[in-house]
A and B are shown apart, each in its own frame.
Chain A
Amino acid sequence: MSTAVAASSSRPGLDLRSLAVRIGFLPALLIAVVAGMSAIDPQFYGTINILNILRNASFLAIVACGQALVIVAGGFDLSVGAVVALASVVMAKTMAATAHALPGQTTPIIVCGVAAGLGSGLAVGLVNGLCVAKLKVSGFVVTLGTMSATAGVGLMITSGIPVYGMPDVFVKGFGRAQLFGLPTAVYIALAVILVMVFVQRRTLFGRYVYAIGGNVEAAIVSGVSIQRHVVGTYAVSGLLAALTGILLTAQVGSGQASFGGDRMMLQSIAAAVIGGVSLRGGIGRIEIVSVSALFLTILGNALNLLHIDSRLQPVFLGIIMVAAVALDELSRRRRTQRV
């Protein structure tokens, strides 16, 4: 750190470059895509499309925030996609059941449903965290296992059929509602991002997560309780994935075991990684990850509007992800060589 500061102060020309490296190529790329698309297709900046982008970006950003936290601590959460599905069906089932027991009383129905949904996500997160922290099994394998198990439970509950029976108020008054012209999911995502940024920067928990991901040995020596904080990261990730499941369910109007899935899981990791989170742990900022989630959503939207075959779209996603990380790695290498 101190050498970097010294280098930038001695050569003012480097200052700009190091700033560019710090922010990354992401905002520039984002602006380029937005500007390019606006020029090509006026549909792109139509209200409907923008709302659509923001809503989808919100879902992804919430999951990616949790994923990023886990990765910063040096872990992995492959189960997020399955948790989205589980929370969706658990909430819908609970609401349908409570509606049967207490017909017409919407408040308890909604409270029970949301609590059950969030609870299911928290439970999966705790299992992940406890297995990783107490049993010292790698996060990759643990969440690989819980991903399969969670997806299986979600399908078992529903037999793969959508679950209906949620209160109208919940769907129309919350999931599909708009506040000052923006979908409710956008406000919730913003709140989550703000809280997570605060947690990361200003709370002990956030700082310890960096410490654990950066250097476990040093964190142990400094007296950081590794286990508790690792469990915490997985719990947050599970909780946030469940939140996305609930928002998706509220928007669609039924609980479905097909929500989330591998696609959501891979995209959340892609968002984190493109957003500068290092898979080696210890590096990564929530706000950039959120921008990255927005970028991925806009990219997908742009490819759709350009009528690029949806089958070919993964190719772009894959290449952009690898390129973003490779550029990041190369610039880091160059910096360390210069120092």
Chain B
Amino acid sequence: MSDAGLVVVRRDRVGGLLLQALLPIALVVMVLGFAVVDASVLSPANLLNIAQQTSYLALFAMAQTVVILTRGFDLALGPTVSMVSVGTALAMATTTATGHGTATVLLAGFGAGFGLGIACGAFNGVVIALLGVSPFVATLGSYNVAIGIATTLSAGRPVQGVPKLFSQLFYGGSVLGVPAAIAITVVIGAALHLMLGRTVFGRSLYIIGTNPRAATVAGLPVRRILVATYVLSSTLSALGAIMMTARTGSGEPNLGGALSLQAIAAAVVGGTSLAGGRGGVGTAVLGALFITILSNGMNLTRIDGYVQMVVLGAIVILGVLLDQARLERH
């Protein structure tokens, strides 16, 4: 009896480990598979390119993850990115045109960008936590509002007049040889990781996601925490948006495009549970890396863009199936 039990446990553990390691293994297999078709996938230039592309999506996946931890999600992420991009570019273009110094211009840009991001997050948080509207409806509402603001402010056209220095610093620049985008994402990711794991605020996100009622009974200020979480999430999105604006060198009213769902997909594929309470910076980065490598490899091996959409869709469902299998083991 006890022997049989042990065997089952051991097999279970091996299976569990396999499931945990599946995504990293799949990543390696995928990269090697693409490399067989086209060796340039493994070239240093392309690897750096992948890392750089991943850093943006990873930031957005982190932004989704913090709200998904509390059983929410942010459909408005993409439009928020567009809105922040337009706002940042407009603020910088205006201050440049009125002859302000570089420091003022950059400050205005960041102020406008983060201001809009925080406003959007506060709106989401207040509507969800205080008015009791479901995250889906609340962020679908702000989705529309943010799209409207982004396209109205920009008149539907890219906003030019962003100072060169801004792009040189936050896209072209590097810290100790590491491109700015990667450096920023690593620093923010590390900080967020510590915050989620080591602070009362971070831990309470997991408690709220695992059991909201228990969180309330335990005396956590759930509403205040939720508002703060949505503000944190949109601030991360705003940071990503500002970095992407530096990359394009102009404010783009459709920069966010399909980012909302892409970020959710990245988080979910990485192993963040939509049921709340499970996930973190690691799962966000892993998911972002997976999706970026997949689309990078498919681009390099010249797989039709429409086929890529189908593959991505299948991957998302597969990722959740794995998550389900993992959940059943717990």
Residues of A within 8 A of B (CB): 76, 131, 135-138, 140-142, 144-153, 155-156, 159-160, 266, 269-270, 273, 279-280, 309, 311-319, 321-322, 325-326, 329-330, 333
- Given the interface contacts A145-B313, A322-B137, does A156 sit within 8 Å of B145 by beta carbon? no
What residue in chain B is nearest A156 (Cβ atoms)? B306
How far does the alpha carbon of A313 sit from the alpha carbon of B149 in the complex, in Å? 10
Residues of B within 8 A of A (CB): 127, 131-134, 136-138, 140-145, 147-149, 151-152, 155-156, 261, 264-265, 268, 274-275, 304, 306-317, 320-321, 324
How far does the alpha carbon of A315 sit from the alpha carbon of B144 in the complex, in Å? 5
- Given the interface contacts A141-B316, A152-B313, does A318 sit within 8 Å of B142 by beta carbon? yes
**Could you say which residues of chain B place their CB within 8 Å of the CB of A147?**
261, 313
B274-A151 in contact (CB<8A)? no
How far does the alpha carbon of A160 sit from the alpha carbon of B151 in the complex, in Å? 25
B324-A322 in contact (CB<8A)? no
A314-B317 in contact (CB<8A)? no
Contacts beyond the supplied A148-B316, A149-B314, A325-B133: 5 A-B pairs with Cβ under 8 Å: A141-B268, A152-B308, A311-B151, A314-B148, A318-B141
Distance in angstroms from B259 CB to nearest chain A CB is 12
A137-B310 in contact (CB<8A)? no
Distance in angstroms from A258 CB to nearest chain B CB is 13
B145-A145 in contact (CB<8A)? no
B304-A156 in contact (CB<8A)? yes
Which of B131, B138, B149, B317 has the most chain A CB atoms inside 10 A of its CB? B317
B309-A148 in contact (CB<8A)? yes
What would 24 A/B residue contacts be, using CB atoms closer than 8 Å? Answer: A76-B136, A136-B324, A137-B324, A141-B316, A144-B265, A144-B313, A144-B316, A145-B317, A149-B309, A149-B312, A150-B313, A156-B304, A156-B306, A156-B310, A266-B140, A270-B140, A313-B148, A314-B147, A315-B145, A318-B140, A318-B141, A321-B140, A329-B131, A329-B132
**Could you say which residues of chain B place their CB within 8 Å of the CB of A315?**
144-145, 148-149, 152
How far does the alpha carbon of A192 sit from the alpha carbon of B306 in the complex, in Å? 33
**Could you say which residues of chain A place their CB within 8 Å of the CB of B143?**
266, 318
What residue in chain A is nearest B327 (Cβ atoms)? A136
How far does the alpha carbon of A146 sit from the alpha carbon of B261 in the complex, in Å? 12
How far does the alpha carbon of A321 sit from the alpha carbon of B321 in the complex, in Å? 33
Distance in angstroms from A147 CB to nearest chain B CB is 7
Distance in angstroms from A303 CB to nearest chain B CB is 11
How far does the alpha carbon of A279 sit from the alpha carbon of B136 in the complex, in Å? 8
**Could you say which residues of chain B place their CB within 8 Å of the CB of A138?**
274-275, 320
How far does the alpha carbon of A148 sit from the alpha carbon of B314 in the complex, in Å? 8
Q: Which 3 A-B residue pairs are closest in the complex by CB-CB distance? A: A152-B309, A318-B144, A149-B313
Distance in angstroms from B155 CB to nearest chain A CB is 8
**Could you say which residues of chain A place their CB within 8 Å of the CB of B131?**
326, 329-330
A135-B127 in contact (CB<8A)? no
What residue in chain A is nearest B319 (Cβ atoms)? A141
A311-B320 in contact (CB<8A)? no
Distance in angstroms from A212 CB to nearest chain B CB is 18
A318-B148 in contact (CB<8A)? yes
**Could you say which residues of chain B place their CB within 8 Å of the CB of A279?**
134, 136-137
B152-A311 in contact (CB<8A)? yes
**Could you say which residues of chain A place their CB within 8 Å of the CB of B156?**
311
How far does the alpha carbon of A155 sit from the alpha carbon of B312 in the complex, in Å? 14
B307-A156 in contact (CB<8A)? yes
How far does the alpha carbon of A93 sit from the alpha carbon of B306 in the complex, in Å? 18
**Could you say which residues of chain B place their CB within 8 Å of the CB of A273?**
137
**Could you say which residues of chain B place their CB within 8 Å of the CB of A280?**
134
**Could you say which residues of chain A place their CB within 8 Å of the CB of B142?**
318, 322
**Could you say which residues of chain A place their CB within 8 Å of the CB of B138?**
322, 325
**Could you say which residues of chain B place their CB within 8 Å of the CB of A149?**
309-310, 312-314
What residue in chain B is nearest A140 (Cβ atoms)? B274
**Could you say which residues of chain A place their CB within 8 Å of the CB of B312?**
148-149, 152
Neighbour of A148 across the interface among B134, B149, B310, CB < 8 A? B310
- Given the interface contacts A148-B313, A152-B308, does A312 sit within 8 Å of B148 by beta carbon? yes
B147-A135 in contact (CB<8A)? no
What residue in chain B is nearest A257 (Cβ atoms)? B306
What residue in chain A is nearest B127 (Cβ atoms)? A322
B309-A151 in contact (CB<8A)? yes
How far does the alpha carbon of A141 sit from the alpha carbon of B320 in the complex, in Å? 7
A131-B317 in contact (CB<8A)? yes
A141-B151 in contact (CB<8A)? no
